[in-house]
Structure formats: structure tokens, C-alpha cells
Amino acid sequence: MAHKGKLSRRKFLIRTGLGTAGVLALGTYLARNPIRRSVLQTLSTMDLTYVGDTDDPLIWFELTADNHVLLLSPKVEMGQGIFTGMAQLAAEELEIPLERLRVVHAATATGNIDGLSTGGSTSIAGLWEPLRELAATFREMLRTEAARKLGAPLSGVQLKNGVFQYGDSQLTFADTAAGVTDWNLPETPALKAADAFRHIGKPVARVDLAPKVYGDPIFGLDAEMPGMLYGAVLRPTHIGARLLKADTQKAAGMPGVVQVVEAEDFVGVVARSYAQAERAKAQIEAEWEAPVHLQQADIEARMTVGNGKHTIIQKEGGPMEGPEGETLEFRTPIGAHAQLEPNGALAHVEEGRATVVISTQVVGLTRKEVAERLGMNPEQVNIIPAYLGGGFGRRLHTPHAVPAAVMSKAVGRPVKYIFSRQEEFQHDMFRPPTHHRMKGRLGADGRLEHLEHHFVSGDVGNNSALMIPGVPTILGADIGAVRGGLLQYTGVPNLRAVYYHVDLPFATSWWRSLGLLANTFAIESFVDHMAAKAGQDALTFRLQHIPQDDALGARLRAVLERAAKASAYTETVRAGRAMGLAASVDAGTPCAQVVELSLEEGKIRIHKVTCVLDPGLAVNPDQVRAQCEGSIHMGLSAALYEEMQVVDGALTPVIYGPYRMLLMKDAPREIEVILLQGKETPGPVGEPPLGPIGAAVANALFRLTGKRPVRMPLAKSI
């Protein structure tokens, strides 16, 4: 039962000041320009972690008659474990056992709508205070009612395991709330001190574990509605293709076809089953106008440092000039998201309202897009988010809801629309390819005098529907592409990081950790190279250039030192095994990793990865570990094997297998995760451990073979 009482509104303060990770990354240098500074301030003071209502506990919580609390989450669960972390935060202040708190996705009709997104590793860090304050306030609202119903003084009402007690009388939350229509909103109560935590900081099992192990229908594509049909939409196979003509006569006559839908911007088929819709779609005789000359070499030629507009994003001392010094160039390929659940949506459009079930990271944006297309008010569109079969940034734009809605409106029945796997691969919003030129020079003392990172990337955030218009122009840099692109070796007197922007003919966007994987690959490979030139080991050399006297520097040093120690890091190749070390700081979370590998029959075998992460307070240490393991596997997959290529104007390959990903046989036999806590609050977790892994592999390969890998995928360098 929902309680929608009147309530005297007053704002919860959002004190995170977190902004987006990208803004933090751009922080120091760009903020010197006054116009940029004002934009950065705007971005930082707006709560970009969560844009929604944090002043009304009644849209966040519902009570059930069996005395459970429902937490209506505006954030979505895509595997990152935030439902569990949110349950821990809320149960802590609600004083209820964890099993009596259920986290569910908030449909937009409930009013708890995230106007932004779930992404950027910000959910738990950003909700750390607001969610506990909401829960504490809700608890005190209930306590006030309990006192009234029990005829007790407020201070006399005790709360134990979700039951109010006064003398011998007891009231459950549900009994307390029954019949209440007008709530009094108390001042925000003081939050529990860390030493009193019962749930926070404990490695409790995921709250969605049983549904995922016993196969409950929780994902977007599992949703059904009575009378549901399947839709398929004709998509081009070539980059930049334009539909000239589509003859749908043959498709319309295919078995199972209910209707061909010719909309202003697409041609679709609605049929009784998925296979029938796909088969009918294949029978549409389409004529495309498509440039087929484009090849991978053209993309790489374009994607080369020096092309396009550039912005200096980090500048200390002077530029490196003259012939002395070292230069290395690195490349990373186009990457696909390849999440296992294809994009899609189930839509039902009726007179004056629409309902959409969808796996999306952008609930609010999806509602807006559907409403605009149908000519409805947003309030007439109910977006029901479902568990995501993987997100990884792919679902930070899910325009798939619109064709589903248009087809549903056309046939007057619910329509489920699913992207084919080929469409997933060819119409992904890819991780952009990058090219990096690293430059450095040692002084007479063997320390770095100059260190420079010049890099070019396709868009990450600039073309995103989430980006605030005008911001990219003012910043002059793409907040996603530069992530990880700044040099963390601030002890080097002369530093430069220069970002070049080049447009690509296909869509590129957010891919878990954004520019971090590619940028860290270049920077940390090069620093390893310079360490060798200096005759220093990789750890000592790094430590020499990281200042001890700033908080983040100290935490970075700590993860590096711990990783080297825990892995027994050595630069001697022993029994055919070599080690590689790398580190990064992403959104304030330092991470160091050591990879131990060998070559077996000419193939790279990863034996062990040691990962030291300092996320601050780990709300759920087991799930922080899981995010480290996940990042390591995903990063290894991308760094070693994955690569999309442009061939004759088409993005290829279009299926798993040819798009080679990490399998069980390739996975490290052992991953050791060590968590340090260098600050008292939770920091970003889901992406930072993706930084070092590519460079750590490359550095180990260099030790083993004497050859420095400069291109991902690294397996090709052997």
C-alpha cells in the first residue's frame, strides 16, 4: 500500500558535491579559465549524481501489510550491485533487518524519477547521505505516528527490528501507517555514527541473488503483456546509409505478419513471434544509399594526434622541445559493449496513455522521448524499468522505446521490439578509437623532467543526449574522452596533457570507464618505458613522481606499494612468468594492479591479477570486490582481444566469436582484491578498476618479450 499524504516540503541538502566524474577529472587546469570555472561550478553544485526528488520519503518508501519496506529505486540495477548497497544504507537508518527491505525499480508513475541516469559509478557515493537522511526521516515520521497511536511520549517509543514498542504495546510499521493521510515531516535526524553500523560495511549477499539463480523473469526482455506481438525494424548494415526505397509487399505476406509499419523514420514489421518478425524483416526489399569506400585505415588516419581541434587540459611548466627525449605512440580500437541482453522495449500505447517496460540507464530521458514522439505529456507515459542484462554505458541512450511505442500504436496492441545481435554490433554506440603520443625526458638525476600526453579520441560525452547543450563548446574537451587522460605524476615539473577532438562517421559514446582504459594504457605503458630508461624499477620510479603531501597522492602511493608487496612484484622473469604493474586514479578512486602472465604455445596466459583499490568506505566489501573482478575481466577482454573494424563501409564483426571476448579459458586463474580505506565516505567503484589492467598486461608482456606492445588488442602483438 502506498501512502501519499500531504507533507510540508523542505529540501534535503545534497552535500555530495560529486558532480560528474569527468568534471572532477577536468578540475584543476580548466578551472583556471573564468568562463569554464563558472560552468564547472554549475555542474558541480547541481547534483549530477541524482536529479530528482530527495525531499519526500513517501515517494521513496512504501510499506507492505506483512511489514516489509519497499524502496522504490530511481536508480537501476545492471549488475553493479547498487540495490544491495541501497538496501544496506536504508535498512541502517530504518532499523529493520535487511531481509525486510525490498528494493524495486520505481516506475515513473510513482513519481520517483531520476532525471539523469544510472552511471558514472556515482549511485552509492551520491546517495550515501540523501538516502540515509530519507530513511531516517521516514523512520521519525513513523515514530511520531506510533507515539500518537500508542499514546506515548515520542521519546518513550523504542524501535527494534522494525517494530515500535512502548511498554507492552507494539506497532509494526504497517500498523503505524494505517489510516494516516497527513504526515508531519520532522527535521532531518542526526545520522548514525559509523561505529554503530549494523549493515553498512558488511559483505552481505546480493539482494537479487535468488531471482538471478532460480531464473525469475526480472529482465526487460522477460516482460509480457496480454496480446503481445513482436516488432522488428529495418536497419542499415553500412555506416551512414540512407534508405531510398523499401518494398514491403513480400514481407507483408510472410507467415505470422500482422502489419507492416511505415513510420516517418523507419520501416518495421509486426508479427506474432520474434522469429516471424525477423524473417519478415529480411524479406523487405530495400535500396540504400551508402558510402562503401570507408576502411579501417581511413578511420586510423583521421584518428591521429595533430588532427582536429585541440585543448590543453593539463599544463605545468613548459613544453618539451628539442630532439632529446623519448616518444612512443599507442592506439586502441573501436570497442563494442556486447552486453548479453539485447536492447529492446515492450510498449503498449492506449488512448491517452502509454506503458513501456525497458532495460535502460536513462529512465527520465526515455519517458521524454516516448512522450514527445506520441504527442503526450510525460505524465501520460509510464516507464517501468526492469533489471538490465548488462549496461556498461550502452543503455545511457535507449531510443528503442520509441519504435516499440510507434508500432504498438499502429497495431493497437502491446509490441515487444528486440534489437538483433547484428544490430547490436553495427548500431552500438561504440567506445571510440584513440591514438596517443607520449613524450618524456629524464633529467640528470634520472627523474622525469618532462611528461606529455597528446591524445585524440572520438566523442564520448559530447554527442550524448545527457550532455547539457553548450557545455562541450565551453569546456573544449569531451568530459568522457579525457577521463584518465590527465597525468597523475604531478611531481614532474613539466606536464602537458592535450586532447584532440576528431569527428567520426559512426556513433561513439559511453563505454564503462570511458577514456580511462585507453588513456591509462598509454600513460602507464610509457611511464614503464621511462622507468626502464632511468634504470629504475617500475614501483620506485612511479613513487618518485607522486607527491606525498596531497591526500590523493598519498592514497595512490599506498595502493601502488600494497599491490607490489601483495603480488611480490618483481621484474625478473621466473619460470617463464613475467609481471606488469600499473595504476590510475579515476574520479578520486586510486587503483593499482599487478598482472602475472606467461606465453603458452604462443598464447597469453594470465595467471594472476592482484588488484588494490581504495574506494573509501566500502558499503558492501564483497560487491566492491565483485566490481573489481568484473572490471578486470572486462578490461582484459577489451585489452587482449576485442576489436571492431570498418571494412568496405560496414562495422564488423557482427556476432560473438568473431568479436572475440574473454572466455573461461582466458580468464585469470586467480584474482586477489585488496581494499584500502583512505577516506571515510564511499567513492566510485564500478569503473576505476578498469584503468590499470591494459597497461599492466602490456608491461608484463614487455618484460617477457622485450618488445613494447603499443596497440590494443594486445593478443595481436604476440
Partner 1 sequence: MPVKVTLTVNKTVHHLELEDPEMPLLWAIRDLLGLKATKFGCGKAACGACTLLVDGVPVRSCSYPARLGKGKTITTLEGLGTQAEPHPVQQAWIEEIVPQCGYCQPGFMMAAAALLKRVSNPTDDDIDQNILNVCRCGTHTRIRKAIHKAATLAQTGQAQPNTPEDGA
Does the protein bind partner 1 through residue 361 (CB under 8 A)? Answer: no
Alpha helix positions (H), 471-515: 471-475
Angle between helices 401-411 and 363-374 (to 10 degrees): 40
Q: Which of 34, 151, 153, 215 forms a contact with partner 1 (CB under 8 A)?
A: 215
Per CB under 8 A, the segment of 73-81, 193-201, 439-447, 450-458 that binds partner 1 is 73-81
Strand 434-442 relative to strand 242-247: parallel, antiparallel, unpaired?
Answer: unpaired
Q: Which of 9, 151, 167, 214 forms a contact with partner 1 (CB under 8 A)?
A: 214
Shortest distance, position 136 Cβ to partner 1, whole Å:
29
Q: Which of 668, 688, 691, 694 forms a contact with partner 1 (CB under 8 A)?
A: 668
**Is 533 exposed, middle or buried (CB count within 10 Å of its CB: 0-12, 13-18, 19+)?**
middle
**What would the x/- binding string for partner 1 be over residues 318 to 337, using CB under 8 A?**
-------------------x
Per CB under 8 A, the segment of 273-281, 457-465, 590-598, 611-619 that binds partner 1 is 273-281
Backbone angles phi, psi at 314, to 5 degrees: -150, 135
The counts of H helices and E strands in the chain are 19, 26
Shortest distance, position 161 Cβ to partner 1, whole Å:
23
AA letter at 360: T
Per CB under 8 A, the segment of 282-290, 345-353, 390-398, 475-483 that binds partner 1 is 390-398
Backbone angles phi, psi at 176, to 5 degrees: -60, -40
Q: How many CB atoms lie within 10 A of CB 222?
A: 16
Alpha helix positions (H), 151-206: 173-177
206 or 545: whose CB is closer to partner 1? 206
Which residue is listed with cell 568530459? 479
H-helix or E-strand spanning residue 671: strand 670-675
Residues 247-266 binding partner 1 (CB under 8 A) are: 255-256
Please give the size of the binding site for partner 1, defined by CB under 8 A: 66
Q: Which of 316, 622, 679, 717 forms a contact with partner 1 (CB under 8 A)?
A: 622
234 or 299: whose CB is closer to partner 1? 234
Q: Which of 334, 448, 466, 632 forms a contact with partner 1 (CB under 8 A)?
A: 632
Does the protein bind partner 1 through residue 630 (CB under 8 A)? Answer: yes
403 or 630: whose CB is closer to partner 1? 630
Shortest distance, position 338 Cβ to partner 1, whole Å:
6
19 or 635: whose CB is closer to partner 1? 635
35 or 655: whose CB is closer to partner 1? 655
| 173 touches 95 (CB < 8 A) | no
Residues 6+ positions from 448 with CB-CB distance below 8 Å: 440, 441, 442, 489, 492, 530, 545
**Is 51 exposed, middle or buried (CB count within 10 Å of its CB: 0-12, 13-18, 19+)?**
middle
Does the protein bind partner 1 through residue 217 (CB under 8 A)? Answer: yes
Does the protein bind partner 1 through residue 669 (CB under 8 A)? Answer: yes
Per CB under 8 A, the segment of 231-239, 324-332, 610-618, 630-638 that binds partner 1 is 630-638
Distance, in Å, from the CA atom of 23 to the CA atom of 26, rounded to the nearest integer, reads 5
Distance, in Å, from the CA atom of 63 to the CA atom of 2, rounded to the nearest integer, reads 7
Distance, in Å, from the CA atom of 301 to the CA atom of 310, rounded to the nearest integer, reads 17
Does the protein bind partner 1 through residue 633 (CB under 8 A)? Answer: yes
16 or 73: whose CB is closer to partner 1? 73
Q: Which of 192, 272, 353, 368 forms a contact with partner 1 (CB under 8 A)?
A: 272
Per CB under 8 A, the segment of 169-177, 310-318, 453-461, 653-661 that binds partner 1 is 653-661
Residue 115 cell numbers, joined: 532525471
Distance, in Å, from the CA atom of 95 to the CA atom of 75, rounded to the nearest integer, reads 22
Among residues 606, 584, 593, 629, the alpha carbon closest in space to that of 718 is found at 606
Q: Which of 13, 65, 154, 205 forms a contact with partner 1 (CB under 8 A)?
A: 205
**What would the x/- binding string for partner 1 be over residues 394 to 423, using CB under 8 A?**
------------------------x-xx--
162 or 385: whose CB is closer to partner 1? 385
Q: What is the DSSP string of 48-105?
A: SS--S--S-HHHHEEE-TTS-EEEEESSPPSSS-HHHHHHHHHHHHHT--GGGEEEEE
414 or 630: whose CB is closer to partner 1? 630
Per CB under 8 A, the segment of 444-452, 520-528, 583-591, 662-670 that binds partner 1 is 662-670
Return the ∠ at Cα 91 (arms to 67 and 109), rounded to 5°.
70
Which residues of this chain interact with partner 1, rule CB under 8 A? Answer: 78-81, 205-206, 208-219, 221-222, 224, 255-256, 272-276, 278, 337-342, 387-392, 418, 420-421, 622, 626, 629-634, 637, 655-657, 661-665, 667-671
